[in-house]
Structure 1
Amino acid sequence: MTTSLHGLLDGQLDRHSEVAEAMRAQLPQVQAVADELIQRLGRGGVLYTFGNGGSAADAQHLAGELIGRYLRERRPLPAVALIGDAAVVSCIANDYTYDEVFARQVSALARPQDMVIGFSTSGTSPGVVKGLAAARAAGACSVAFTSIRGKDLAAAAHLAVVVPAEETARIQEMHVLALHLVSELVDRWASNHGEHA
């Protein structure tokens, strides 16, 4: 490996570490999201989650951790990644616009006892903004996983985890860290409260 390439990779790892350390300030928000999700799941609520591109993968990742398991044997927890149904997504995008894909699904499915999490690295994705607005209109708890560029999205949500970075790669890395922390707390609750498989 050339010296310049090695330096580039070192710089990327250093920046990852800096942003990860800065995420300590977001731990109260992560805890608040997990606590609220636990309360809602305990009352029969469902998690609905969504995002675009890499954020869609994060949404699916979180749903998978809840339906499957994170670390412990327990019952599957109700979670739906709204990007996962290609027929529904393409139908809404074709009949309306892509910006309506999440809002129409949330409007159809979300109830007041549910939680809706939108992932957006930019914080300006029209589809995510509209999806969280639909969650609020339905009376569900709206949560934004975003970055410092997404202050308006964060302010419009009930709860927000805001990554203190602007680089998409670092934001996505911290979204995965945050969703793993939420998964750990929910997993521990479910396994400790008779929510076994």
Structure 2
Amino acid sequence: MSIFEKAIHDATATIESLRPLQSVHEQAAEVVGRCLLSGHKLLVCGNGGSAADAADFATEFACRFVSDRRPYPALNLAACGSLLTAIGNDYGYDEVFARQVRAFGQRDDVFVAISTSGNSKSIISAIAAANIAGLHTIALLGRDGGRARGLAQMELIVPTDITARIQEAHKFLLHTLCEIVEARFILPKQEAR
């Protein structure tokens, strides 16, 4: 089997492995939808490739996903280089997201953490800060969930050891979450006006 064929095989198997997550995924979509419709916001973060996924997810709400509709407040906590480097320098990298959660998060906002390993100290600290501040917490993790497993109120754990396949599955979960939120919460609300 070629590398390309193996990648297709592994990606397909990974996506199929997500079926048991449907109930938690639906619950996460409901929490996000209710959050945005009630005037609250999303705070999203990740490191490396997961930071890029966080940026995309936040953009889908602050700009648009499929339909033309009003923007909703969603912040990518990995976006501001000066803030990240200031916090990293003054408080240590473990605090780069947690400090922002404490600065921007309010009770009933939603915090979404993305980590392929679940072992990033910056993600673990941020989930803890979000829980303390009364935010709804959702973690997208990989492998066995790592040290972050059990910390968030809702977890979507992709059960594979291949980082690329975990990231692809996270992207799928995030995009389908956007689809559900738009279809069930945002667009019906717009049509009702």
Q: Is the structural similarity TM-score above 0.5?
A: yes
Alignment RMSD, CA only?
Answer: 1.4
What does 1:47-58 correspond to in 2, within 5 Å?
Answer: 47-58=42-53
Aligned-partner Cα distance in 1 for 2:92–2:146: 25
Give the whole-Å Cα distance in 2 for the aligned partners of 1:177 and 1:195: 27
Structure 2 counterpart of 1:32, which letter?
Q
Distance 1:177 1:40 in 2: 21
Identity %: 35
Secondary structure in structure 2 of the residue aligned to 1:149: coil
139 and 114 in structure 1: CA distance in 2 versus 1, 3 angstrom threshold: same
Q: Distance in 2 between matches of 1:77 and 1:93?
A: 28
- The corresponding residue for 1:183 is 178
Output aligned runs, 1:141-160, within 5 Å. 141-160=136-155
In the alignment, what sits opposite 1:3?
none
| CA shift for structure 1 position 191 | 1.5
CA distance in 1, matches of 2:59, 2:15: 23
Give SS of 2:145's match: helix
Alignment of 1:68-147 (within 5 A): 68-147=63-142
Q: CA deviation at 1:24?
A: 1.2
Distance 1:151 1:99, change over 3 A: closer
The worse-fitting range, judged by mean Cα deviation, of 151-160 and 8-17 is: 151-160
Per the alignment, residue 194 of structure 1 pairs with 190
C-alpha offsets along residues 154-181 of structure 1, whole Å, 9 cap, x if unaligned? Answer: 3110111111111100100000000001
For the residues of structure 2 that align with 1:85 and 1:195, how far apart are their CA atoms?
35
TM-score by length of 2: 0.95
Cα drift, residue 149 of structure 1: 2.6
Q: TM-score, normalised by structure 1?
A: 0.93
- 84-93 or 24-33, which moves further after superposition? 24-33
Shift of 1:48: 0.1
Instruction: Report if aligned partners of 2:119, 2:146 keep a CA contact under 8 Å in 1.
Output: no
Moved over 3 A (4+): none
* C-alpha contact 1:30 1:161 (8 A) present in aligned 2: yes
1:168 to 163, 178, 182: 163
- When the two structures are aligned, how many residues end up with a matched partner? 191
Unaligned 5+ segments in structure 2 are none
> Can you give the 5+ residue segments of structure 1 that lack an aligned partner in the other structure?
1-5
Cα distance in 2 for residues equivalent to 1:154 and 1:114: 21
